[in-house]
Amino acid sequence: MNEEIELKDPVLPLGRPTLGSAGETGDWRTFRPKFIEENCIKCYKCWLSCPEGTIRVDAHGEFPYIDYDYCKGCGICVHVCPGRKKQKALEMVPE
Amino acid sequence: MNEEIELKDPVLPLGRPTLGSAGETGDWRTFRPKFIEENCIKCYKCWLSCPEGTIRVDAHGEFPYIDYDYCKGCGICVHVCPGRKKQKALEMVPE
Amino acid sequence: MMTEIRIVSRGGQGGVTGAKMLAYAGHLDGKFVQAIPKYGAERKGAPIFADVRISTTHVKTHAPVITENTHSWIVLDPSLIQTIPLSKLSQDTLIIINSQEYPKSLQNENKLRIGKVDAVKIARECGLIKSGTEMVSTVMLGAWVKATNMVSLESLKNAVKHQFGDGELTDANIRSIELAYSQFEFI
Amino acid sequence: MMTEIRIVSRGGQGGVTGAKMLAYAGHLDGKFVQAIPKYGAERKGAPIFADVRISTTHVKTHAPVITENTHSWIVLDPSLIQTIPLSKLSQDTLIIINSQEYPKSLQNENKLRIGKVDAVKIARECGLIKSGTEMVSTVMLGAWVKATNMVSLESLKNAVKHQFGDGELTDANIRSIELAYSQFEFI
Amino acid sequence: MNVKIPEMMDRPEVLLRGNFACAGCGLSIAYKTAISALNRPIVVIPACCSSVIQSLHPNVTYNVPTLNIAFAAHASAASGIARAKKMRGEDTTTVVWSGDGGTFDIGLATWSGAAERNENIIHFCYDNNFYSNTGAQRSGATPRGAVTTTTPGGKKEKRKSIVRIMAAHDIPYIATASIGYPRDLYTKVKKASLIEGYRFILIDAPCPTGWNSDPALTPELGELAVKTGYFPLYEIEKGKLTFSRRGERYRDPEKRVPIEEYLSKQSRFKKMTSTQILEVKKDIQHEWDQLSLFE
Amino acid sequence: MNVKIPEMMDRPEVLLRGNFACAGCGLSIAYKTAISALNRPIVVIPACCSSVIQSLHPNVTYNVPTLNIAFAAHASAASGIARAKKMRGEDTTTVVWSGDGGTFDIGLATWSGAAERNENIIHFCYDNNFYSNTGAQRSGATPRGAVTTTTPGGKKEKRKSIVRIMAAHDIPYIATASIGYPRDLYTKVKKASLIEGYRFILIDAPCPTGWNSDPALTPELGELAVKTGYFPLYEIEKGKLTFSRRGERYRDPEKRVPIEEYLSKQSRFKKMTSTQILEVKKDIQHEWDQLSLFE
Amino acid sequence: MKEMVQTLEKPQTKLMTGSEAVATAAKLSRPQVIAAYPITPQTEIVETLSGMVTRGELNAEYINVESEHSAMGAVIGASLAGTRTFTATSSHGLLYMGELVWWAGLTRIPVVMPVVNRSLNPWNIWPDHQDAMTFRDAGWIQFYAKNNQEVLDLTICAFKIAEHHKIWMPVMVCLDGFILSHTTAQVEIPSQSDVDNFLPSFKPLAMLDPDDPFAHGSLTDSEGIWEQRMSLIAGFDNARVIIPQILTEYTEKIGRLGNYMVEVTGDIDNAECAIVALGTMGEEAEQAIEFLAEKNIKAVVFRPRVFRPFPKKELISLIKQVPRLLVIDRAVSFGNAGQLAIEIQAELYASKVDVKFYQIIRGLGGKDVSYADIAAEVEKVLKEDK
Amino acid sequence: MKEMVQTLEKPQTKLMTGSEAVATAAKLSRPQVIAAYPITPQTEIVETLSGMVTRGELNAEYINVESEHSAMGAVIGASLAGTRTFTATSSHGLLYMGELVWWAGLTRIPVVMPVVNRSLNPWNIWPDHQDAMTFRDAGWIQFYAKNNQEVLDLTICAFKIAEHHKIWMPVMVCLDGFILSHTTAQVEIPSQSDVDNFLPSFKPLAMLDPDDPFAHGSLTDSEGIWEQRMSLIAGFDNARVIIPQILTEYTEKIGRLGNYMVEVTGDIDNAECAIVALGTMGEEAEQAIEFLAEKNIKAVVFRPRVFRPFPKKELISLIKQVPRLLVIDRAVSFGNAGQLAIEIQAELYASKVDVKFYQIIRGLGGKDVSYADIAAEVEKVLKEDK
Ligand SMILES: Cc1ncc(C[n+]2csc(CCOP(=O)(O)OP(=O)(O)O)c2C)c(N)n1
Ligand SMILES: Cc1ncc(C[n+]2csc(CCOP(=O)(O)OP(=O)(O)O)c2C)c(N)n1
Ligand code: SF4
Ligand code: SF4
Ligand code: SF4
Ligand code: SF4
């Protein structure tokens, strides 16, 4: 009957894994965690508990660092950081 | 606009309790329980276990009797009847 | 040409299976067939019916048989005669009853063709009893074949084999058909 | 006459509540009003907006404000200026920004009317801080009233009372409005 | 202590004669016994054999107010009734009367919610171990090894322990009962009716049609289930379990009637191998062991 | 024995940075920790906060195959996946990732069926004690006394003991875990992944937005729940319960941190009276007592 | 019957969202049992009502059910037990209660349920009418409200309509999610005594009662079903007559609402084109014709406020008066077309009305539809048909 | 495309019920995952298939789920995991899975599901089309079969149609409960190799796969929804083209089926009246016209075998050729009219076709409809229109 219409491919509801799928969520922050290298004992508790995966560690034995593009500034890393001699290796500072 | 149409009452899906709602189910029977008065000890186990309520007892202390209009002839009453001296007070007989 | 048959029975007597076998026999004879059980909420013992159509062309209707058009009524329990709407039947409608004697209620029906067979007796003879109930449906089919010749006896027997497989049950049923075929009589 | 206002903010800054209060102020002035929050899946910190309409007749549209028709943009966070489609704005559209200084990105926009107020400072002064975030929305409304006079200052204050009830919070917010009213300046 | 038969004799006739139930129907015995023990019951019935045996509209065999409702809506509809009657200040007993399919499977979330809210309902589950209404398909209550029309090779999994699931909801009263012991059932219902909140009674109710058993044996199969330890009788009040007088002795596996006696009377277990029977015995023992923890 | 952090460091990144989760989100910690411990997971997510944090189509934050499905269809969809992958001979791990609402309430019948069939699935329930997605309404997991938007006067009933309900299904592995103890969680997931059949892990996952707690305190609230005895940590393997090293000591009420310390950090408990707090303490003790039966 | 229209001349007394308007209307109607389950964007209704019950402002039993299936199950039970009942839902919640939505419709349970319209899956919380349209067959009366005031007024009327003994049917009041539910606007609130005067207390037609037992909804044969289905059809015929009467009574006793099934806005006599749309798109179209008037284009809006019963006669008598018709659907019957467009065309055929017919689908999944968009569509119609 | 019609000239090879025909077709189509929940009158399908799987005649995973909601959930999961899937249901079962029926439709899951049509509540197990009609919007292709042979043939085709990469949609094959499901009739069974030759193995368009992760059905904004909805509309347009092609291929490779969307029976050129009906009522109407022919009345039957996509063009081009049309619905959109009648009228309007139009509703709740009844209705039409 109407064989000549162009047959379109279906659009399926597929989302692909994407870094920053919600944008650069770093700008949700009002405070930022600041790293103080001398106090860090490389226990990686910050890495373990950061909900965002924005505490990065390149390899075991390296210092952690923060991906500020996406860090939402929740303060968990600071809260869990034991630091050295009660001196935390992370602190929250205003943006 | 069309106010003059006759407004009918709703028909609700209500069923009323009715004896013999499925007809006289006595004719489903191929065997019937027969009561043998002399063996009956009035324990009323038949009454207790008859699924149909077709073992009738007018009052405590009276003999049971059977409502053949609805008795389906399952044989439970016979099976549960202890009877007197191992002589059951009920037996199944062909219709 | 389409023949419509209604089998009237009680739940448990095998009426529905009977309808399937009759249809199968027609199938083996090269006819188009249909077997329609009328399903309800009824349990064992309750009156039910099943319809069969045997036709030379593809059957297009799916409705229960229409009373006026029904060629035959096969009644598996004489107490069910009362369920037949006699006044609506057409001239020469066939009624076959499982009964020892001529049912009184049909005595004045002279527009009908009425036949009987003592299917209970035959079923007992052949040992066709299940949970205390005589399985009379194949018996009645044997009688119907005798009365009408509308399917071949051979096909009916093969239909029984198809239904019950090889074995005693089939043998008993086939024997019952043969007995019915010989004992059936018009009244 | 219908005035359409868009409040641009981040989740948590109070933009949606601000829209409601502004609408309420209009309501107290005897106008027809509407406050439409644009809901998304966004969480705290994400950019959101809310629209307000103030009209002399019943508002029939339910759509978000149309860019070209928008009378005022109230921007609660200077980093959100970039979300305004400047090229589509009409002549004399008002933009009020929470900012200490004149935003560079707007320096060449001469068809617009631009004003600013340091709402963060005022909010801090008045103690309007919640979970570390300055609640700048009432401040900004105070500035807008100064800029436009489209609702009365009295009504805005009453709207704040209505929103927060009697108590410190209301007092602080009213103070912030007054400060904003006095500190607002066109650029 | 069980009620005496004479005390039962003035109970109301809740199930009228002449209905669609099969001859020897276990659920009929269960219904009659349980519902007649209640004060002004209003009964909610989801899809199940009980919605069939009531016969065709406009007649009905049930002589108490009955709400037929969708399969998975029993306890929610009952919640609505219980709350409404409370609002109206009427003295009634709200009842769910459901098969095992409705209770163990499709309607589980529904009653779990009602149980969590501790709605003032008595939930009866008559348990025939499968979907009887639709022709004997597997349910969560079907025991291991039983043939159903959807487990033609015998069910592979053991049956859900609905009582332990209920018990985990910490409701005030739970009991098991059997149509093999109608006085015990009646007594438990009477007891339950004096308690407030969500109460659950599981009733073993053989189905001769689906189990392909002799209709006359329906009560005996109920008894055998108890005596073989397959269906223990007990009550759980405020978390504390007491085995019933009729059931206690079967705690000792030695005292149990051999399970084979129970299985052999029903063709649904015909295909079971001896290894399967052993597994079923293990299932039984496991259940007793678990239940004993709550004593 | 808990895994060491270095051993965790090469886990895959399953939750990509820059998503819709609130700052300090407990479920994000739970998801990252649990899912990264699995071999080739396929994750089924019913309606819940996890369906929001994944961000807007056509982007998604989850870096593993994810099926979003209707609220009550988690375990059934997962059953379909598990069976299909079995048919295809593919080596994958099928996972349900559901909130407490999906697990305790609307989807309970669904998982109960899957558990009875012993489908080869790991079911995670991250438990934030309410419906977070829709704005903090009561769920079956909401504890007594907690204010939610549908229990503005505080919830009257205690929280469902989902673990005991699960346990009554006799599934091979059950565990509780907390985002306060990520290594313990990770270790348990690893262990579960080696077992076949239906496995259930309940993860305490505070929600700073809904609980109105300081986002930085999310892990600490997890720890406090354990230390106050409010959220005991344990495993149930083949019916046998073992309290986890991190949790065992709080069996003794004397050793528990006072519950008030936990409650006071969340405004949802602000309205609680001291009698209510007493009741909650009883609820806690009741749960411990019941759990101890399974030891 | 004299014609009355919605009057909104003066600023109203309260500012509230559509959800608050629903909750307020419900409260004023004194439901006795409420059961509901949260779902965006209906949650505010549920939350507000549970707050009212908790604070004792509303004397009702509030059941915090564990799903929508159970919400509808509970109100069915409660209604049959003799109480006025209320629930509300949206989207997937409506689908999840679907079996019981049908149950309530086919067995005549006079429950009132606002549906906060929201699109269906994949997950999307924004408005369209796909959810409620799915139940247009199900034996429910359906209203679609255009603004928060109408939400409130119709919800109160819904109880009276549902419970009218010649109707006795469930009623759905549809309001566009977010667009109404979350938007604050002015709403005039009637006094409790005015509402009490309009809406008497619940009078069950049949009640579950141990003193007079019946079985509700038991197994029914074809004859019984046929009778009940025909009665349902007759019930809708009754509703066509009674709904305007009840709206009239409301307008007289309480004010403002108007008594039409289809609202007409604009100058029908000179209109070059009529627009038909439901809910807020209808009011948006009203704005559109003002916008068009500025360009000297004359258009008129026919807004069916009632979709079930389908207001055939009303629509036809209006459409007859215009040369062109633009129907805008906010839902699709996939594999055919927009539901509203299909049904209107069917009526046009049946009534042999000749009008230039145009249909479009807009606003799916919450896509914004502004008066400017609608106006542009009208201009397109006029251009095409030249 | 050359026209092909269903051929049933010779007695067929097997006697079977409609349920067995479904199960046989399913088996021949080699589904890999089956999940279903029993409900009268669908049970025989489920039971037969579980028997086949248990006996090893069919290499599939059979999931004995605990509800229909879960049945559809399971096949959605299994389909996306890369397998061919099958389920079947009826009536309340269909309603109970409603949320996921929509899910499958809107997110494009190519599952095949026979629906054994049965009426809705109050409890009634007998046939009508109310159940399937409820889902006419839901993004499913819908077939209605007229006899057991068509049930079998369409079920096999359904897999190929569902899985065509330009369609990729779920397909419902409707068969009247009892009337087909429980009635024994002759059915010709194709060989496995013929079916294998017609139906290749499952080729997923997208599969849940750890090596290529995606999220299916995640939160989507209005633009995304709009795009997917428009794609679904386009999918139905594709289906209009492809379905006849697949039916042609089936008829060529396997035989008998015919390739039409709307079947025509009778002498269209001389017909005084055409009858439109779905499913077995369509075949019943065929019998009715033979019956009428004996009375010298000429009628023709147009039976839409496909209801979604709605075969507009096909119907219109046929209706144009007849003077009168009688549409018989076996369901009602309460508050309006029969669904089939509504949609045909809408098309007649759109196409400006002038035919004398008559509509009736028959067969609700299993009320018998015989060819004599239908013939009588045609006679009534002819009498009325004189
Ligand atoms: C949603 C839904 N699915 C399926 C059915 C079909 N159905 C009716 S009763 C029943 C089984 C009931 O089983 P059970 O609860 O054990 O009660 P029984 O029939 O054994 O008495 C089923 C599957 C239905 N009515 N509704
Ligand atoms: C059938 C249905 N009802 C309601 C909803 C709305 N809804 C979405 S998520 C949700 C609550 C989820 O709660 P929970 O499972 O605890 O997860 P959380 O949101 O806390 O992460 C609700 C009620 C829905 N999507 N579908
Ligand atoms: S928690 Fe603190 S000490 Fe430990 S690795 Fe992180 S920054 Fe260093
Ligand atoms: S502040 Fe929060 S999000 Fe940022 S790095 Fe620390 S834990 Fe992660
Ligand atoms: S059971 Fe037997 S002995 Fe007992 S009352 Fe009945 S008939 Fe008499
Ligand atoms: S045979 Fe059965 S039905 Fe008849 S009286 Fe005895 S127990 Fe009752």
3-state secondary structure of A54: coil
Tell whether the model's pLDDT for residue C46 goes beyond 70: yes
CA distance H37 to H33: 14
Q: Considering only alpha carbons, which residue of chain B is nearest residue G311? A: B1
Fill in the DSSP letter of residue H320.
T
Q: Is G50–F47 a contact, with Cβ atoms under 8 angstroms apart?
A: no
The closest CB to that of A5, out of H107, H165, H241, belongs to: H241
Looking only at the bridges linking them, the beta strands covering D185-186 and D113-117 are antiparallel
3-state DSSP call for residue F156? coil
Residue nearest to atom 8 of ligand 4 (CA): A50
Name the CATH superfamily for D2-186: Pyruvate-ferredoxin oxidoreductase, PFOR, domain III (3.40.920.10)
Shortest distance, CA F21 to any CA of chain D (angstroms):
7
The beta-carbon neighbor of F51 closest among H33, H65, H219 is H219
Residue G204, chain B, CB below 8 Å: the answer is: no
Locate the ligand 6 atom nearest the alpha carbon of residue E24 and give its number.
Answer: 2
| Whether the CB of A42 sits within 6 Å of ligand 3 | yes
Q: What is the mean pLDDT of residues E270-285?
A: 94
Is B12 a residue whose pLDDT tops 70?
A: yes
Q: What is the pLDDT of residue G11?
A: 44
Enumerate the β-bridge partners of residue E123.
E96, E200
pLDDT per position in chain D (187 positions), as tens? 899 999 999 887 889 999 999 999 999 999 999 999 987 655 667 788 999 999 999 999 999 998 899 999 999 998 899 889 999 999 999 999 998 888 888 887 788 999 999 999 999 999 998 877 788 999 999 999 999 999 999 999 999 999 999 899 999 999 999 999 999 989 8
* Partner residue facing B75 (CB), from E17, E18, E215: E215
Residues with Cβ < 8 Å from D97, sequence gap 6 or more?
D75, D78, D81, D103, D106, D114, D115, D116, D117
Give the ligand with the smallest distance to the CA of A68. 4
Per CB-CB distance under 8 Å, the chain H contacts of F76 are 35, 65, 69-74, 77
Residue B1: the pLDDT is 44
Residue B47's pLDDT is what? 97
- Give the total residue count for chain C: 187
Using CB atoms, which chains have 3+ pairs under 8 A with E?
Answer: B, C, F, G, H
Closest protein CA for atom 8 of ligand 5: B40
pLDDT (0 to 100) of residue G10: 47
pLDDT of A2 higher than 80: no
Cβ distance B14 to G165 less than 8 Å, yes or no, reads no
Tell me the pairing of strands B64-66 and B55-57. Answer: antiparallel
Query: In this complex, how many residue pairs, one in chain E and one in chain H, have their CB atoms less than 8 Å apart?
Result: 55
Mean pLDDT of chain E: 96
pLDDT at G4: 59
How many A from CA of B85 to the centre of ligand 6? 22
What is the C-alpha to C-alpha distance for residues D150 and D28, in angstroms, rounded to an integer?
12
C-beta of residue G36 within 8 angstroms of C-beta of residue G91: no
Instruction: Give the separation between CA A70 and CA A19, rounded to whole angstroms.
Output: 9
Peptide bond into G41 cis (omega under 30): yes
> Which residues in chain G are closer than 8 Å to F57, comparing Cβ atoms?
122
Q: Chain A partners of D11 at a C-beta cutoff of 8 Å?
A: 28
G129 touches chain H (CB under 8 A): no
User: At residue H11, does pLDDT exceed 50?
Assistant: no
Q: Which domains does chain E have, with CATH numbers?
A: 5-292 (3.40.50.970)
Chain H neighbours, 3+ Cβ pairs < 8 A: A, C, E, F, G
Place of tokens 């490779």: H253
Q: Which residues in chain G land under pLDDT 70?
A: 1-12
Q: How confident is the model at residue A19 (pLDDT cuts 50, 70, 90)?
A: very high
| D15 touches D49 (CB < 8 A) | yes
> What average pLDDT is seen over chain D?
91
Instruction: Tell if the CB–CB gap between H284 and C63 is shorter than 8 Å.
Output: yes
Tell me which residues of chain E, numbers 171 to 210, contact chain G at a CB-CB cutoff of 8 Å.
none
Answer whether B44 sits within 8 Å of E32, measured CB to CB: no
| Domain residue extents for chain G | 2-253, 263-384
Does the CB of F56 have a partner CB in chain H at under 8 Å? yes
**Residue H238 forms contact with A (CB below 8 Å):** yes
Partner H contacted by C36 (CB < 8 A): yes
- The Cα H101–Cα H81 span in angstroms is 18
Determine, for residues F22 and D41 on separate chains, whether the beta-carbon distance falls below 8 Å: no
- Mark yes or no for CB contact A13/H235 under 8 Å: no
Task: Decide if H37 contacts H68 (C-beta within 8 A).
Answer: yes
Q: Which residues contact F173 (CB under 8 A, 6 or more apart)?
A: F191, F192, F195, F197, F199, F200, F235, F236, F237
Give yes or no for a contact between E110 and E144, defined as CB atoms under 8 angstroms apart: no
* Number of alpha carbons in the 13 Å side-chain half-sphere of residue C67: 7
Does residue A90 contact residue A35 with C-beta atoms inside 8 Å? yes
Closest C-alpha residue for ligand 6 atom 4: B71
Q: What percent of chain G has pLDDT over 70?
A: 97
Q: Does G242 touch chain B (CB under 8 A)?
A: yes
pLDDT of residue H5: 56
- DSSP letter at D97 equals E
Q: Which of residues 156-215 of F touch E (CB under 8 A)?
A: 157-158, 160-161, 164-165, 167-170
Asked whether the beta carbons of residue F83 and residue H66 sit closer than 8 angstroms, the reply is no
For chain D, what are the domain ranges?
2-186
pLDDT at B2: 47
DSSP state of F103: I
Question: Which protein residue has the closest C-alpha to ligand 1 atom 21?
Answer: E49
Chains C & E: contacts with CB separation below 8 Å: 15
Q: What is the pLDDT of residues C47-88, one digit of tens each?
A: 889 999 999 999 999 999 989 999 999 999 988 898 899 999
CA atoms within 13 A of residue E60's CA, in its CB half-sphere? 26
Whole-angstrom Cα distance, residue E115 to residue F110?
17
Is the CATH code 3.40.50.920 the one for domain G263-384? yes
C44 vs E22: CB contact, 8 Å cut-off? yes
CB distance C24–H284 less than 8 Å? Answer: no
- Predicted confidence at residue D42, as pLDDT, reads 57
Nearest atom, ligand 1, residue E70 CA: 26
**Distance (Å) of CA E120 to CA E79, E199, F117, G213, G224:** 7, 8, 32, 21, 34
E vs F contact (3+ beta-carbon pairs below 8 A): yes
- Number of residues that make up chain A: 95
Nearest ligand to the CA of E149 is 1
Note whether B touches A: 3 CB pairs or more under 8 A: no
Full pLDDT tens readout for chain F, 295 residues: 689 999 999 999 999 999 999 999 999 999 999 999 999 999 999 999 999 999 999 999 999 999 999 999 999 999 999 999 999 999 999 999 999 999 999 999 999 999 999 999 999 999 999 999 999 999 999 999 999 999 999 999 999 999 999 999 999 999 999 999 999 999 999 999 999 999 999 999 999 999 989 999 999 999 999 999 999 999 999 999 999 987 889 999 999 999 999 999 999 998 899 999 999 999 999 999 999 999 9
> Given CB atoms, is E273 within the 8 Å cutoff of chain B?
no
DSSP string, H112-141: EEEEEE---SSS--S--SHHHHTTTTSS-E
Report ipTM for this prediction: 0.96
Instruction: Please tell me the predicted confidence (pLDDT) of residue H92.
Output: 98
Using the predicted structure, report yes or no on whether residue E269 has a pLDDT greater than 80: yes
- Nearest in space to C144 (alpha carbons), one of C13, C2, C19: C19
Residues with CB under 6 A from ligand 2: F 47-49, 71, 98-102, 128, 131-134, 139; G 37-39, 68, 92-93, 96
pLDDT tens track for C148-157: 999 999 999 9
Nearest residue (by CA) to ligand 1, atom 6, is H39
Which pair of tokens denotes residue A45? 């508790």
pLDDT category at H2 given cuts 50, 70, 90 is low
Residue H2 CB neighbours (<10 A): 5
**Domain map (residue ranges) of chain B:** 35-94
Q: Which pTM value belongs to this model?
A: 0.97
D161, D166, D170, D172: CA torsion to nearest 10: 150
Taking residues B68-77, report their average pLDDT: 96
Alpha-carbon gap: G79 to the closest alpha carbon of chain F (Å): 22
CA distance C78 to C114: 13
- Residue labelled with tokens 């309750």: C46
Under CATH, what is the fold of the domain B35-94? Answer: Alpha-Beta Plaits (3.30.70)
B30:C132 CB<8 A: yes
Mutate to test the pocket of ligand 1, among E71, E97, E139 (most ligand atoms within 8 A of CB): E71
Query: What's the pLDDT score for residue H385?
Result: 82
User: C-alpha angle A91/F268/D18, rounded to 5°?
Assistant: 75
CATH homologous superfamily, domain H2-253? Thiamin diphosphate (ThDP)-binding fold, Pyr/PP domains (3.40.50.970)
